[in-house]
């Protein structure tokens, strides 16, 4: 993957629990190429959102980066470690060059502010327009571009007056209003029905193409990855278990966890009364596992799985996996 826009190197994020630091993101390496969409996939609680929040510095107060770097290559001939920037410099860079779509728009939008004011706010803060009139005109054009009907009317609407799908479109408009180089979409289709989900995914892809943006799409849904992503990273218990192109992953999944995620996708013609699942649950944060983090739920386990952590190996060109049995 050449022309890297963002590179996360050996990232470790820890929280304090029972008087000691516990790693919840463990030595993560991710590359986001220019103009490509990267999927970060795994069950809830795997550390996907925590990884994304390190990029724009919105980690919870209890969490902190204890190792690694978040390298930004968005400015010509420069490399900036976002993990080491001051809050003021990070806010300035992220607000204009990195946009984010959060999981639940109803809790992310200010219920007391009109839609237009919330979308145009970033333009005014970062002084990307001359005045409020120019900001209003650009906001209305963008609301129309993301598929919101009667944008001039909706400009003055409050969040509760819009449907869930319309609110998510507003969130996308807020994220791309400054024409950023990177879009982070954290579970962008949560709580949406299948039809609206397809529309939102198509819109994200359209916005990336229109503004030549890269994107990180965080999801637990392999179907979402298949629709819009170029590369995919499979995450479990804060560790990247498998990474490759989307095409190669679907053709030849190597890690038992990846195969479990793919097998759990409902398929037309499959017995509707039988839905394959991954047995067990993700261990609680802080639980010490000597071997592979997935060994307690894995059907392919060997003795080494319980006593030795697997190292990441390149099985074929560009296809990496962290597994003893692959």
Instruction: Indicate the domain borders of the chain.
Output: 4-236
User: Has residue 194 got a pLDDT over 90?
Assistant: no
Residue with the larger pLDDT of the pair 239 and 299: 239
Averaged pLDDT, 158-183: 94
Q: Which of 66-70, 153-157, 208-212, 274-278 has the lowest mean pLDDT?
A: 274-278
Q: Tell me how far CA of residue 204 lies from CA of 141, 189, 208, 308, in angstroms.
A: 17, 11, 6, 41
Spatial separation of the C-alpha atoms in residues 57 and 41, rounded to whole Å: 21
- Count, in order, helices (H) and strands (E) of the chain: 12, 12
pLDDT at 189: 86
pLDDT at 82: 95
pLDDT at 133: 95
pLDDT at 272: 62
For the record, the structure tokens of 123 come out as: 């333009």
Averaged pLDDT, 231-239: 96
Instruction: Decide: residue 141, CB within 10 A, 0-12 exposed, 13-18 middle, 19+ buried.
Output: exposed
The predicted-structure confidence for 97-150, as pLDDT tens digits, reads as follows: 999 998 877 788 999 999 999 999 999 999 889 999 999 999 999 999 999 999
pLDDT band at residue 313 using 50, 70 and 90 as cut-offs? very high
The predicted-structure confidence for 22-44, as pLDDT tens digits, reads as follows: 999 999 999 999 999 999 999 99
Spatial separation of the C-alpha atoms in residues 313 and 320, rounded to whole Å: 5
CB of 239 closer than 8 Å to CB of 323: no
Spatial separation of the C-alpha atoms in residues 65 and 167, rounded to whole Å: 32
pLDDT at 94: 86
pLDDT at 2: 54
Residue with the larger pLDDT of the pair 237 and 192: 237
pLDDT band at residue 299 using 50, 70 and 90 as cut-offs? confident
Averaged pLDDT, 300-311: 89
CATH 3.40.50.300: does it fit domain 4-236?
yes
Helix (H) or strand (E) holding 185: strand 182-186
Averaged pLDDT, 201-211: 93
Tell me how crowded residue 194 is: count the other CB atoms within 10 A of its CB.
9
pLDDT at 1: 45
The predicted-structure confidence for 73-111, as pLDDT tens digits, reads as follows: 988 778 999 999 998 899 888 878 999 998 877 788 999
User: Has residue 270 got a pLDDT over 80?
Assistant: no
């Amino acid at each position: 993957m050449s022309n890297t826009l963002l590179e996360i190197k050996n990232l470790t994020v820890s929280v304090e629990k029972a008087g000691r630091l516990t790693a919840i993101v463990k030595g993560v390496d991710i590359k986001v190429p220019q103009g490509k969409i990267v999927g970060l996939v795994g069950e809830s609680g795997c550390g996907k959102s925590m990884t994304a929040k390190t990029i724009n510095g919105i980690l919870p107060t209890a969490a902190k980066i204890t190792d690694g770097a978040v390298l930004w290559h968005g400015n010509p001939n420069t490399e900036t470690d976002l993990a080491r920037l001051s809050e003021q410099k990070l806010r300035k860079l992220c607000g204009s060059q990195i946009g984010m779509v959060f999981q639940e728009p109803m809790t992310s939008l200010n219920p007391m502010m009109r839609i237009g004011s919330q979308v145009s706010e970033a333009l005014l803060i970062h002084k990307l327009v001359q005045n409020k009139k120019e900001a209003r005109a650009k906001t209305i054009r963008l609301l129309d571009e993301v598929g919101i009907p009667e944008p001039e009317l909706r400009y003055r609407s409050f969040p509760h007056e819009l449907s869930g799908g319309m609110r998510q479109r507003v969130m996308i408009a807020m994220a791309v209003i400054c024409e950023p180089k990177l879009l982070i979409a954290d579970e962008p289709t949560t709580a949406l029905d299948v039809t609206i989900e397809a529309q939102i995914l198509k819109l994200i892809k359209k916005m990336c193409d229109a503004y030549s943006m890269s994107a990180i799409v965080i999801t637990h849904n392999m179907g979402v990855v298949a629709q819009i992503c170029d590369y995919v990273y499979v995450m479990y218990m804060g560790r990247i278990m498998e990474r490759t192109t989307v095409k190669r992953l679907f053709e030849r999944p190597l890690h038992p966890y990846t195969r479990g995620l793919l097998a759990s996708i409902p398929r037309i013609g499959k017995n509707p009364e039988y839905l394959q699942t991954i047995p067990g649950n993700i261990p609680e944060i802080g639980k010490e596992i000597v071997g592979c983090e997935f060994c307690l739920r894995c059907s392919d386990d060997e003795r080494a799985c319980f006593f030795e952590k697997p190292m990441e190996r390149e099985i074929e060109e560009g296809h990496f996996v962290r597994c003893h049995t692959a």
